[in-house]
Amino acid sequence: MTCSLSIAGQGHDVYLIEKDDELGGAAKKLHYTLEGLDVQAYLRDLIRKVYRHPLVHVYKNAVITNVSGYVGNFITTVNSERGTAEIKHGAAVIAIGADEYKPSEYLYAKDKRVMTQLELEDQIAKGEEEIFNARSMVMIQCVGCRNQDRNYCSRVCCSHAIKNALKLKEKNQEMEIYILFRDMRTYGFREDFYREAADRHVRFIRWETDDPPRVETVKEGRKEILRTTVPDPVLGKRLEIDADFIALSAALIPSAATKEVSGLFKTTMSPDEFFQEAHVKLRPVDFGAEGIYLCGTAHYPKFISESISQAYGAAGRVLTLLSNNTVVASGSVCEVDEERCISCGACILACTYNAIEFNDTPKGRKAYVNSVLCKGDGLCNTKCPTGAIQLKHYTDEELLSQIIAASPLAELTDQMHAAAGIA
């Protein structure tokens, strides 16, 4: 939404495709930030601005069924509550967000006293007395990530745990809170909140992957108690912690729609199955394909402030493109000699940018290169069995001439000609 408003503010029509029946995404589940920002108030104001802006067109309950075209000339087919529409647009920004991992461990979904950090935050925001009056709370970090299945850090979990722990301490200073962590990653100025939590007697206990915490229900009389067993590396003993509630810092995982959207827009994905940018430093919000940009947690797990900053960055890249009346293609693009093309399709399979397709010509079905999409990597040249496709300015004849000119034999020939007075 931030990206949409930024683009629309410069006078361009924006089509905002929302898969749910209301805007907001994952932010609807957040109520406050570690720094104290009221997320819901900010979100309501943002949604109000979106609906009031005359150049932002919102499609809710929408599904993208087809995407075709290229930079400056995309056509996207959308099914929504408005019906089916074909939207013509010059650029696209992918911001489909991420999902929360639903744990299968630590008795989650088997005992209502075990919840995720987002569910705990919702309980705190609603003022649930049962939560505030609890005597003890155990928080377990790195649930669903930094393991063999997902070998990445979700980045926001440590700060969310600190945030909820401090909120609980504000309401009930006597509550005993234990955070079982692998590595506390409250980076930047968030480290101050980690120190504040420690000063308020939030206890931090480190655990290793080869000996993770164990959660079980234990009966004491008529009451069932949640008992967490974890080794304490400082004391050198195994601790048994009885808690009224357990909060799991569940991982942020790629959206369920990531693979589908990646296939529609022909974008790349990282090994962790988030969307992957063209270059982490030089093109952090661009894809390899021109005219398609990226922002938010669809890229990787990040805080609201980081998502907003990236949204402005993506909007800037879109505006840089849309401010021009024409798209300038590179001079180093491939072209096809129709006389030599045998329509084998080897070049089409080799092209990673989908820049080559078959065209019906007077000479039959021949390969055709879209100069706007072609990046001139030359991979198709090496696959063509007849040499019908060549990269401009890098033809076989030109490359051979360069090799001959750079060889010692060519230098010797020039010296002999100079000695004989031959020009």
At residue 411, the pLDDT reads 65
The encoded tokens of residue 132 equal: 């505030």
The two tokens of residue 197 are: 């939590």
Indicate the pTM of the whole model: 0.84
pLDDT of 162 over the 60 cut: yes
Q: Which CATH superfamily is domain 2-97+255-322 in?
A: FAD/NAD(P)-binding domain (3.50.50.60)
Q: What is the predicted pLDDT for the residue at 417?
A: 62
User: Is 36's pLDDT higher than 80?
Assistant: yes
Q: Is the pLDDT of residue 423 over 60?
A: no
What is the model's pLDDT at position 415? 67
Q: Rounded to whole angstroms, how far apart are CA atoms 241 and 106?
A: 14
pLDDT of residue 370: 87
d(CA 121, CA 141) in angstroms, rounded, equals 15
* Topology adopted by domain 334-392: Alpha-Beta Plaits (3.30.70)
Q: What value does the mean pLDDT take over residues 227-242?
A: 92
Residue 412 reports pLDDT greater than 80: no
3-state helix, strand, coil in the chain (%, to 5): 30, 30, 40
> How far is residue 63 from each of residues 271, 340, 378, measured CA to CA in Å?
26, 43, 36
pLDDT reading at 418 higher than 80? no
Is the pLDDT at 416 greater than 70? The verdict is no
328 pLDDT higher than 80: no
Mean pLDDT, the chain, integer: 91
Quick check: do 2-97+255-322 and 100-252 share a fold?
yes
Residue 373 pLDDT exceeds 90: no
Identify whether the C-beta of residue 102 lies closer than 8 Å to the C-beta of residue 112: no
Instruction: Give the residue extent of every domain in the chain.
Output: 2-97+255-322, 100-252, 334-392
Q: How large a percentage of the chain has pLDDT more than 90?
A: 74
Kindly list the distances between the CA atom of residue 248 and the CA atoms of 5, 94, 161, 222, 240, in Å, as whole numbers in the listed order: 35, 29, 9, 26, 17
Q: Give per-residue pLDDT as tens, 133-159.
A: 999 999 999 999 999 989 999 999 999
Task: State how far the Cα of 322 lies from the Cα of 310, in Å rounded to an integer.
Answer: 18
Q: Return d(Cα 222, Cα 225) in angstroms, integer.
A: 10
Residue 116 reports pLDDT greater than 70: yes
pLDDT value at 46 more than 60: yes
CATH topology of domain 100-252: FAD/NAD(P)-binding domain (3.50.50)
Per-residue pLDDT tens over the stretch 17-33: 999 999 999 999 999 99
Residue type, 395: T
Cα 369 to Cα 169: distance, rounded to the nearest angstrom: 64
Looking at residue 392, its pLDDT comes to 87
Give me the percent of the chain exceeding a pLDDT of 70: 96
Q: What is the pLDDT of residue 321?
A: 92
The pLDDT assigned to 421 comes to 63
pLDDT for 422 equals 58
- Of 90-94, 193-197, 323-327, the range with the lowest mean pLDDT is 323-327
pLDDT at residue 378 greater than cutoff 80: yes
CA–CA dist 159, 345 (Å, integer): 52
Q: What is the pLDDT of residue 331?
A: 77
**Cα–Cα distance measured from residue 291 to residue 78, given in angstroms and rounded to the nearest whole number:** 19
pLDDT in tens, 203-224: 999 999 889 999 999 988 788 8
